[in-house]
Structure 1
Amino acid sequence: MFPSNFFYRPWIIQSHGANKHTTTFIDPIKKNIEAKEIVEMQGKFCIGCIDEWIFLCDKQSKEYFFLDLHSLLKVHLPPLPEEKITFTSFSLSTSPDHPDCTVILTGAILEDGTNEIIERVLMVCMMQEEKWNKLPLDEDFIAATDVILEGKLYTDKVGHVVVFDVLSLLAGQVDTRTIPTPMLVQYPRNDMVSVHLVESCGCIYLVRLYGYGGGPTIYMDIYRLDTSCDEWLRVDGIGERSFFLSDMSNISVCGNDVGVECNCIYYASSYGEDRHRIYKFCLDDFTMSYTTTPIEETEYESRFCWFVPTRSRRMIRDSSISPTRVLSVATVDGEEWNLASDSIKKAKTWPWLMYREKLDGTCKLLDPFTGKKYTTIVGLPSSIFPTQILSSKDGWVIVLDSANTMLMVNPLNQDVVELPFLEEFDGVCGITFTSVPTSPDCVVLGFCTNGDDSIDFYKWQSGEENWTIMFDDESHFSAAANTNPIFFREELYCLGESGQLGVFNPAEKTWELLDKPEPVYSEHEVPFRGTQDCYLLELGGDLVSIFKYNYPDFNVRIFKLDKLKMEWIPVEDLAGWTLFLDPRSSFAKPSPHKCWSNKIFFTTIHSGSTKTCAAYCIKSKRYDINFCDTKKPFDCVWLEPNLIGKY
């Protein structure tokens, strides 16, 4: 009836209502699909899955029930009210077959015909009861995730977690308290956040996954709730646990018990292009990777969900395929050096990939060609961690600390320059600097585009105590997401999503959106926001723009600015140069060896035993590896080594 090995490793389940009589089972390890006829699931929609119980509904009969996939036992819920209801989250206090099990649904009552929301509601009942308690919620209460722990319902509300007393809800009363959630990350730029509450070993975790526009997931942060004081603590690990997240249900298990890597978070989304990807966030080294899956299109009501066996409690050991072949990445590190040794001084000075490995400031420096690693600990007070890397130049990086203060740091010799506090930082979408901050001529410039695409600039010069803020309300500029501007011929050049250029002159305090070059995309060809990475850099005295599409073939387009005609000219040959690309900071260097000539290195790392960076060959127009076989650090930047100190 079920696929082989179904009860011994994670699967993804899709049911299709009346559209299909079969249920789709997706094996994320072998990447295959199996359609099975499960009589109890025919004609039903899948809402979610908890502890091997799948939550199903029949739209025709309005029947809601939990199905035990081991025994096919059904546990029916009381009939719901006659109104048309859509649910955004559900939670259980214990297993559905337990007589004291409490079920809580959150959602909205819709107007029949128009589907407009009439009322936000919370529905609660115990399994042995015959009817629901329906309690009204605020009209802005859109709970996308919730969990029950020790008689309390924790549910997400934008910017807060609202805690309900379950016994009060059963009595028809609303008794709540509110816990503010940590501030969302400001960089990388994002406008989509998927929030997940997970109960694990008696603790509540908050996991947030960030995206921009229609693009892929680009960042993740995780917190644990200290229930003694209702404060969220940023954590950099979950031990032997593994989290499986989807849109309506989140599961925590011991990774070893289900044959996946521990201390990892696995995420499958039902929306956009991400519905074809399963992400893995590894907290051992703060990297993210993904594998593609052949998930089918289906109706909105039938979200797919994880099925993770929790009763078998046995490790899968398949002699032909390791269960962690796709969902896990072998961690075989090459030789490493500590920066305290002088081996780093003997290294070649092409850009290295610097990435954060822990929240405490521990960073790795990776030679993109050889895979050799160096370890450094950024010498900052522990109170300011965690930090985020914003930009890089001349061996220095700009980092943003947990209090939204910016610092300029040389990771190799531990020099630090603190910048004045910038209250408006939450809008900054690009930042760079002219020279090392110990120089009296150092200028730091940031910019942001507002909702109406007007643009603001923020300037700080070495020795000044405050930022200078300049505004431009006339020109409209749609900046490429997370692409830092660059200084070129003493002016600041900003790249737009379609290849248009804007130029800011810091000396004259003027901003101009150039008529030329014309965009590289026509009006009807522009990729949807977030679906491409854009890069702007200087190469041999020329301005170069590069666009890499993130679905599905990762097509790369390279252009050089013809300064006389002011046109973007396609580039087919780098003439002996090697590029190191990241939206934060990109570099062009003469190739140190002919085998690396005409190649582009990205900030993704091979997952195999050779930890070199993924490269794209311009002549062959091919990558040296499938992106599914790489992992990308959460927070990274290209760094040009600079061992010169302040004094």
Structure 2
Amino acid sequence: MTTAKKNRSLLPPARRPAPWLVIPNGADANRLNFFNVSDSENNSYIRTCEENLEKECVASMHGWLVMMDLWISEEVHCFLWNPDTREKIDLPSWDVEAPEDIGTCILLSPPTTPDCMVLFVVKKSFLTWQLGDKKWTKQNYELGRTHHGTEEYIAKAISCKDGIIYALTTQSVAVIIDRKSCGTLSVRSLDFGRPQFSATIRLEKKLVESRGDIYLVVILYVGHKAIQVGHVEVFKMDLYKKVWVKVESIGHQVFFVAECGSISLPATNLDLKGNCIYFSISADDLLYVFDLEDGNLSNYLPCPNLATPSFTPFWYLPNNWLVEIQKEDVNTVPKTELEMEMADNKFATVEEPVEESIGFRWINLPMDILRSIAMCLHSSADFVNFGRVCKSFASSIPQSPLTTQYPQLMFSNRTSLCSFCDPMHNVTYCFDMPDLLGARIRFSKDGWCLMSKGDYSMFFFNPFTKVTVTLPDLPPKHWANDGFSFTQVPTSPDCIVFGIAGFHKFFVQILYLHLGEDAWTQEYREK
């Protein structure tokens, strides 16, 4: 084992202790792009380092990184590296027959402690290194076979604060890796049911430790090729009931999730909104934010000048920053947290008596003031969330055209999940709109969408107010229309819906409907 240290920290300046999102890029992956989520100015920084040349991070824990060869051959080289202190600890090399078998890696504790251990799970075996070891210790483990006859092995692992190593198998079975006093490891399966996450053709599972509890974050992908993030579900391990409980809240915590390790921190000390999950994926360079409170999924580009190619992003938090944040959290954490958990299709809510306030209440604002506030909202997400506050806020949203708003791209993957791309702020918001399930947008104007569902059904839908205006079904013998439009918003008596189909060789079919009429008018005109 060799140790090297440089005095100059690699980290950029930061206004407050908060996790860095690090995106490696460049041909040799030695350019590190840093982005601090607590930076209100959204600055990003680039650092080039020789230590990271042709290396990738496979674990980021306790202020240290486990770095491994970017291009793995039969012999694997790796080392421990602290980007803050620039300390580097070379680890023994080891041989691997199939590089694709190298799975999860965790650092149980920093190398400044005597019980430091690096653990690699290589399909059906463990590889461990402890301080002073000249080589890696290999130990095989057995989990048996699935009901399909395939071998099962550990896919994800995380070390909890009390030293217990929790892991998840390829079939989402929860197991514990026990670390015996002699240094050997053993595996025992927990008699848990598998988490009941939503059906999808592709998903990613991440384990997170938060305040002594184990959470499972499931990222669901949608679309034809399943490359777009569609939704996020969170489950909590209940050791007493022996179940994974789907949770609707993580309290005032914020989860920072990545392939190389995840962090849970209190939002109050980071100047961030709590009950949110920040994550980045290898497929793109976006930073995603999922709000458990309203189910809103947004994303933005943290490093706009990122050069290609880029590699697996990870979160990094110096250990002294973590100690400082946790120390502040002792004095700022609320005495109680509202958690909504769903088990066996029932919600369990922890409630606390609340004294009725006789002071000012926002819901009592005059309607004209609420309407003025609504008209100042430029983001579609802010506009929709404004209407969700209460009935008074919802009724204040104007039904007239929103002339103060700029165009935004609205799209869906034929699910109830609708996305709004905000070109001014480079942010994409996602909302669950069940009314649009199976529907197709035919025309959009002044905040209203003309929708079709199936071969005959037509209706207006306002994504900001959630108001739906139904229309008569299309005629039984109508042609497949090339396009639809409307002259005025459906709240106007002068609204006319117009459709045209011109695939016939000699004729075009014209459909039009004055709002309020019981049936469409159908005409044919020669070309």
- Which TM-score bucket, shorter chain as reference? 0.5 to 0.7
Partner of 1:574: 486
Partner of 1:582: none
- The residue correspondences of 1:90-169 to structure 2 (distance < 5 A) are 90-108=105-123, 120-129=124-133, 130-136=135-141, 140-141=151-152, 143-149=154-160, 150-157=162-169, 158-167=171-180
Q: Distance in 2 between matches of 1:199 and 1:126?
A: 23
Q: Could you tell me which of 382, 396, 407 is aligned with 1:370?
A: 396
Partner of 1:203: 213
Question: Would the alpha carbon gap of residues 173 and 311 (structure 1) be closer, same or farther in structure 2, given more than 3 Å must change?
Answer: closer
Partner of 2:20: 11
- The residue correspondences of 1:479-494 to structure 2 (distance < 5 A) are none
Question: Would the alpha carbon gap of residues 205 and 20 (structure 1) be closer, same or farther in structure 2, given more than 3 Å must change?
Answer: closer
Question: Would the alpha carbon gap of residues 92 and 562 (structure 1) be closer, same or farther in structure 2, given more than 3 Å must change?
Answer: farther
Please tell me whether the aligned partners of residues 24 and 31 of structure 2 are also in contact (alpha carbons under 8 angstroms): yes
Please tell me whether the aligned partners of residues 225 and 232 of structure 1 are also in contact (alpha carbons under 8 angstroms): yes
Q: How far does residue 244 in structure 1 lie from its aligned partner after superposition? A: 0.1
Q: How far does residue 8 in structure 1 lie from its aligned partner after superposition? A: 3.0
Q: Could you tell me which of 194, 201, 224 is aligned with 1:191?
A: 201
Q: Distance in 2 between matches of 1:153 and 1:483?
A: 40
Q: Could you tell me which of 76, 88, 93 is aligned with 1:62?
A: 76
Partner of 1:39: 50
Q: Distance in 2 between matches of 1:282 and 1:45?
A: 30
Partner of 2:257: 245
Partner of 2:242: 230
Question: Would the alpha carbon gap of residues 22 and 196 (structure 1) be closer, same or farther in structure 2, given more than 3 Å must change?
Answer: closer
Read off the aligned partner of 1:95 and give its amino acid letter: P
Q: Distance in 1 between matches of 2:452 and 2:434?
A: 7
SS at match of 1:125: strand
Question: Would the alpha carbon gap of residues 369 and 277 (structure 1) be closer, same or farther in structure 2, given more than 3 Å must change?
Answer: farther
Read off the aligned partner of 2:203 and give its amino acid letter: V
Partner of 1:585: none
SS at match of 2:51: helix
Q: How far does residue 365 in structure 1 lie from its aligned partner after superposition? A: 5.8
Read off the aligned partner of 1:47 and give its amino acid letter: V
Question: Would the alpha carbon gap of residues 335 and 308 (structure 1) be closer, same or farther in structure 2, given more than 3 Å must change?
Answer: same
Q: How far does residue 368 in structure 1 lie from its aligned partner after superposition? A: 5.7
Q: Unpaired runs of 5+ in structure 1?
A: 109-119, 316-332, 338-352, 373-428, 431-480, 487-493, 500-532, 549-559, 578-589, 599-647
Please tell me whether the aligned partners of residues 561 and 567 of structure 1 are also in contact (alpha carbons under 8 angstroms): no
Please tell me whether the aligned partners of residues 243 and 265 of structure 1 are also in contact (alpha carbons under 8 angstroms): yes
Q: Could you tell me which of 310, 315, 333 is aligned with 1:306?
A: 315
Q: Deviations over 1:200-233 (max 9, x none)?
A: 1211112222222335333222232232443333
Q: How far does residue 251 in structure 1 lie from its aligned partner after superposition? A: 0.9
- The residue correspondences of 1:402-551 to structure 2 (distance < 5 A) are 536-537=452-453, 543=458
Q: How far does residue 199 in structure 1 lie from its aligned partner after superposition? A: 1.0
Q: Distance in 1 between matches of 2:28 and 2:208?
A: 32
Please tell me whether the aligned partners of residues 48 and 303 of structure 1 are also in contact (alpha carbons under 8 angstroms): no
Q: Deviations over 1:358-394 (max 9, x none)?
A: xxxx99668667349xxxxxxxxxxxxxxxxxxxxxx
SS at match of 1:225: strand
SS at match of 1:78: coil
Q: How far does residue 100 in structure 1 lie from its aligned partner after superposition? A: 0.6
Q: Distance in 1 between matches of 2:492 and 2:478?
A: 32
Partner of 2:85: 71
SS at match of 2:206: strand
Please tell me whether the aligned partners of residues 561 and 568 of structure 1 are also in contact (alpha carbons under 8 angstroms): no
Q: Deviations over 1:413-433 (max 9, x none)?
A: xxxxxxxxxxxxxxxx99xxx
Partner of 2:222: 212
Partner of 1:276: 285
Q: Distance in 2 between matches of 1:210 and 1:593?
A: 43
Q: Distance in 1 between matches of 2:167 and 2:192?
A: 10
Q: How far does residue 48 in structure 1 lie from its aligned partner after superposition? A: 3.4
Q: Deviations over 1:261-300 (max 9, x none)?
A: 33321111112xxx23322223444433332334757678
Question: Would the alpha carbon gap of residues 495 and 334 (structure 1) be closer, same or farther in structure 2, given more than 3 Å must change?
Answer: same
SS at match of 1:311: helix
Question: Would the alpha carbon gap of residues 170 and 220 (structure 1) be closer, same or farther in structure 2, given more than 3 Å must change?
Answer: same
Partner of 1:416: none
Read off the aligned partner of 1:154 and give its amino acid letter: Y
Question: Would the alpha carbon gap of residues 176 and 142 (structure 1) be closer, same or farther in structure 2, given more than 3 Å must change?
Answer: closer
Q: Distance in 1 between matches of 2:111 and 2:492?
A: 64
Tell me the TM-score normalized by structure 2. 0.58
Q: Distance in 1 between matches of 2:385 and 2:151?
A: 37
* Residue 289 of structure 1 pairs with residue 298 of structure 2: yes
Question: Would the alpha carbon gap of residues 485 and 307 (structure 1) be closer, same or farther in structure 2, given more than 3 Å must change?
Answer: closer
Please tell me whether the aligned partners of residues 192 and 242 of structure 2 are also in contact (alpha carbons under 8 angstroms): yes
Q: How far does residue 568 in structure 1 lie from its aligned partner after superposition? A: 3.0
Please tell me whether the aligned partners of residues 483 and 535 of structure 1 are also in contact (alpha carbons under 8 angstroms): no
Higher RCO structure (Cα 8 Å, ≥6 apart): 1
Q: CA RMSD in A?
A: 4.7
Read off the aligned partner of 1:83 and give its amino acid letter: E
Read off the aligned partner of 1:57 and give its amino acid letter: M
Question: Would the alpha carbon gap of residues 45 and 182 (structure 1) be closer, same or farther in structure 2, given more than 3 Å must change?
Answer: closer
Question: Would the alpha carbon gap of residues 20 and 239 (structure 1) be closer, same or farther in structure 2, given more than 3 Å must change?
Answer: closer
Please tell me whether the aligned partners of residues 54 and 66 of structure 1 are also in contact (alpha carbons under 8 angstroms): yes
Q: Distance in 1 between matches of 2:180 and 2:207?
A: 21
Higher mean C-alpha deviation, range 171-180 or range 200-209: 171-180
Read off the aligned partner of 1:145 and give its amino acid letter: K
Q: How far does residue 243 in structure 1 lie from its aligned partner after superposition? A: 0.9
Please tell me whether the aligned partners of residues 168 and 174 of structure 1 are also in contact (alpha carbons under 8 angstroms): no
SS at match of 1:567: coil
Please tell me whether the aligned partners of residues 165 and 178 of structure 2 are also in contact (alpha carbons under 8 angstroms): yes
Higher alpha-carbon Rg: 2
Please tell me whether the aligned partners of residues 127 and 136 of structure 2 are also in contact (alpha carbons under 8 angstroms): no
Please tell me whether the aligned partners of residues 151 and 167 of structure 1 are also in contact (alpha carbons under 8 angstroms): no
Q: How far does residue 250 in structure 1 lie from its aligned partner after superposition? A: 0.9
Q: How far does residue 39 in structure 1 lie from its aligned partner after superposition? A: 2.8
Read off the aligned partner of 2:288 and give its amino acid letter: Y
SS at match of 1:218: strand
Q: Distance in 2 between matches of 1:207 and 1:287?
A: 16
* Residue 179 of structure 1 pairs with residue 192 of structure 2: yes
Q: Distance in 1 between matches of 2:299 and 2:436?
A: 29
Q: Deviations over 1:81-102 (max 9, x none)?
A: 2434343322232223322122
Please tell me whether the aligned partners of residues 103 and 155 of structure 2 are also in contact (alpha carbons under 8 angstroms): yes
Please tell me whether the aligned partners of residues 219 and 231 of structure 2 are also in contact (alpha carbons under 8 angstroms): yes
Read off the aligned partner of 1:305 and give its amino acid letter: F
Q: Deviations over 1:18-63 (max 9, x none)?
A: 6254323245554554321223223322223223212212357732
Aligned residue pairs: how many? 372
Read off the aligned partner of 1:2 and give its amino acid letter: L
Tell me the TM-score normalized by structure 1. 0.48
Q: How far does residue 593 in structure 1 lie from its aligned partner after superposition? A: 9.7
Please tell me whether the aligned partners of residues 537 and 545 of structure 1 are also in contact (alpha carbons under 8 angstroms): no
Question: Would the alpha carbon gap of residues 76 and 202 (structure 1) be closer, same or farther in structure 2, given more than 3 Å must change?
Answer: farther
SS at match of 2:248: coil
Q: Distance in 2 between matches of 1:363 and 1:122?
A: 51
Partner of 1:611: none
Q: How far does residue 303 in structure 1 lie from its aligned partner after superposition? A: 1.0
